């Protein structure tokens, strides 16, 4: 066991079980790039401020970059008893370049270092996630543009309610994912702030140029209070909140894909490449991607709750509890990335059964409101037309037919104001076209909306 960097005031070595319990290297090793980038920027700034020599800073940079390269190529592995990634890299650096390596940590603590690394890591991943959500949203936009006049029933209580179009349905999710993206953008703006210079908690006596380090790292500013800089992880909670809301949206869409691809609905058919079979039942084609997405939503919610609970009772400033933030945040990131790629593929390749959607819209009395509205235009108050239309629906159910299949004489038995023009007034096309209001399903309004995105 290598001597601990902090062993100065200790008389005994750490117990083996404590070492294992304490170590974060197995999971924080994934931040090695960010750790090295942060250290290069910090050490160059130290030299510019005259705190260490430029010669040492350059040696440090070279050493750190060689470590990065060796990790990238697999020459250097994390097979080490170092306590965490920060210690691992610093130890390795000092092994490689000697005393200059020991100057790297001047004016810095692992408390501000780990806060920086996690923010940098989260931002890199957040941009990737942003582009994956953007790709999903663009896919939905493309499909919507092709389905401006694909009629389907809209539902409330999962009962057929009023006719809409598939484009209109998809646009609801286009809106939701759009808001998710703006939530992530906001979260990024608060994450992309450098805590470096906060030291262990009370800043440092060295004349650090915090802003230039932040700038060098592509960050938008520095934290304004050193206690806050090392003690809060609200940005990780914000990213996980964004992720939970996104997963909620993905899960609802998944639920509908599962329903709509069932034999009972047959609105869509998933591509073979995005479906799975059964080991026993030869006929099965299962929507596993959608089901797993729905399932993993619970997992992401769990991560968010973990983060909130880890942080809720901690006295300022740093407490080791906060090491636990990392795995929850990493799991959020891994889960989102894992979900989004196959999910978008599934959406891109699914077949849309326009015929079945339209048949369902025709079959479910989704035009009953429009029939009531038609009679309102003939001068009858809505409450009364609602009843007439309801009675006609009842009549159709009794006679196993639909409103559009009734003869004019049959209509007239319920109201003699009904004329030949009723058939056009309650056709799916009219029902949808008339809903021109902003946010409504009319192909014209929808086209304008989609083109404006």
Q: Name the residue nearer to ligand ARG (CB basis): 20 or 272.
A: 20
Least distance from C-beta 299 to ligand ARG, angstroms? 22
Q: Minimum distance from CB of 1 to ligand ARG (Å)?
A: 17
Place of tokens 């192909």: 443
Give 323 or 402: the residue with its C-beta nearer to ligand ARG.
323
For the chain, give the number of residues: 453
Smallest distance from ligand ARG to CB 78, Å: 14
Residue 159 host element (H or E): strand 159-165
| DSSP calls for 100-155 | GGGGTTTT--HHHHHHHHHHHHHHHHHHHHHHHHHHHHHHHHHHHHTTTT-EEEEE
Task: Pick between residue 57 and residue 325 the one whose CB is nearest to ligand ARG.
Answer: 325
Q: C-alpha distances in angstroms, 11 versus 2, 4, 8, 18, 145?
A: 15, 12, 8, 16, 72
Instruction: Compute the least distance from the CB of residue 239 to ligand ARG, in Å.
Output: 17
Tell me how far, at minimum, the Cβ of 84 lies from ligand ARG, in Å: 4
Nearer to ligand ARG, 35 or 125 (CB): 35
For the CB of residue 9, give the shortest distance to ligand ARG in the complex, in Å: 14
Q: How far is the CB of 233 from ligand ARG (least distance, A)?
A: 10
Q: How far apart are CA 150 and CA 152, in angstroms?
A: 7
CA atoms within 13 A on the CB side of 215: 6
Collect all residues with Cβ–Cβ distance below 8 Å to 14 and sequence separation of at least 6.
4, 22
Q: What are 204's two structure tokens?
A: 């440092």
Specify the pairing of strand 159-165 against strand 151-156: antiparallel
Structure tokens at 249: 């949206």
Q: Cα(133)–Cα(340) distance, rounded to whole angstroms?
A: 7
322/346 with CB nearer ligand ARG? 322
> In the beta sheet, which residues pair with residue 162?
154
- For ligand ARG, which is the closer residue by CB, 23 or 43? 23
Which tokens in the block code for residue 343?
């999910």
Which positions are catalytic?
Answer: 157, 278
**Smallest separation (angstroms) from ligand ARG to the CB of 24:** 4
Q: Residue 23 or 385: which CB sits closer to ligand ARG? A: 23
**Can you tell me the distance from the alpha carbon of 63 to that of 432, in angstroms, rounded to the nearest whole number?**
67
Nearest to 172 by CA among 155, 186, 185: 155
Other CB atoms within 10 Å distance of the CB of residue 139: 19
CA distance 53 to 69: 24
The smaller minimum CB distance to ligand ARG, of residues 200 and 376, is found at: 200
State the DSSP string of 7-49. GGG-SSPPPHHHHHHH--HHHHGGGHHHHHHHHHHHHHHHHHT
Binding residues for ligand ARG, rule: CB under 6 A, are 24, 28, 84, 110-111, 114, 318, 320, 322-323, 326
Distance CA 306, CA 329 (A): 9
**For residue 441, is the peptide bond before it cis, meaning its omega torsion is within 30 degrees of 0?**
no
Using alpha carbons, list the distances in angstroms from residue 137 to 11, 64, 175, 253, 268: 59, 40, 9, 12, 18
CB of 117 or CB of 358, closer to ligand ARG: 117
CB of 186 to ligand ARG, least distance (A): 25
Q: Where are the beta strands (DSSP E) in 179-334?
A: 268-269
């Amino acid at each position: 066991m290598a001597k601990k960097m902090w062993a100065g005031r200790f008389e005994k070595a750490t117990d083996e079980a404590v070492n294992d319990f304490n170590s974060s290297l197995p999971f924080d090793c994934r931040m090695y790039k960010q750790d090295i980038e942060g250290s290069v920027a910090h050490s160059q700034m130290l030299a510019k401020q005259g705190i260490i020599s430029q010669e040492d800073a350059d040696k440090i940079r070279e050493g750190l970059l060689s470590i990065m390269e060796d990790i990238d190529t697999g020459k250097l592995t994390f097979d080490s008893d170092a306590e965490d990634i920060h210690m691992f890299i610093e130890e390795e650096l000092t092994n490689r370049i000697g005393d200059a390596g020991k100057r790297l940590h001047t004016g810095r603590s692992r408390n501000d270092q780990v806060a920086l690394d996690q923010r940098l890591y989260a931002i890199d991943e957040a941009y990737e996630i942003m582009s994956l959500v953007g790709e999903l949203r663009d896919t939905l936009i493309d499909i919507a543009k092709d389905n401006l006049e694909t009629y389907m029933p809209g539902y409330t209580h999962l009962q057929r309610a009023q006719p809409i179009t598939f484009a209109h349905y998809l646009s609801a999710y286009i809106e939701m994912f759009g808001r998710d993206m703006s939530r992530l953008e906001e979260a990024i703006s608060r994450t992309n702030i450098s805590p470096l210079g906060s030291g262990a908690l009370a800043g440092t006596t060295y004349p650090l140029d915090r802003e230039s380090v932040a700038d060098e790292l592509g960050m938008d500013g520095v934290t304004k209070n050193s206690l806050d800089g090392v003690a809060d992880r609200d940005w990780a909670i914000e990213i996980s909140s964004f992720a939970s809301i996104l997963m909620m949206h993905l899960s609802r869409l998944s639920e509908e894909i599962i329903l709509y691809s069932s034999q009972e609905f047959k609105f869509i058919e998933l591509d073979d490449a995005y479906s799975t079979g059964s080991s026993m039942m030869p006929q099965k084609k299962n929507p596993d991607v959608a089901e797993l997405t729905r399932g993993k939503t619970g997992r992401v919610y769990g991560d968010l709750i973990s983060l909130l609970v880890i942080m809720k009772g901690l006295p300022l400033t740093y407490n080791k509890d906060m090491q636990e933030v990392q795995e929850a945040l990493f799991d959020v990131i891994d889960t989102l990335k894992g979900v989004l790629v196959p999910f978008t593929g599934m959406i891109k390749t699914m077949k849309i059964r326009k015929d079945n959607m339209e048949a369902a819209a025709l079959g479910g009395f989704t035009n009953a409101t429009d029939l009531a509205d038609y009679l309102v235009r003939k001068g009858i108050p809505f409450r009364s037309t609602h009843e007439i239309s309801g009675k006609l629906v009842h009549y159709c159910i009794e006679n196993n037919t639909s409103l559009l299949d009734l003869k004019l004489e049959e209509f007239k038995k319920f109201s003699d104001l009904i004329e030949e023009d009723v058939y056009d007034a309650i056709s799916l096309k009219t029902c949808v076209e008339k809903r021109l209001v902003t946010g409504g399903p009319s192909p014209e309004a929808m086209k304008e909306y989609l083109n404006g995105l």
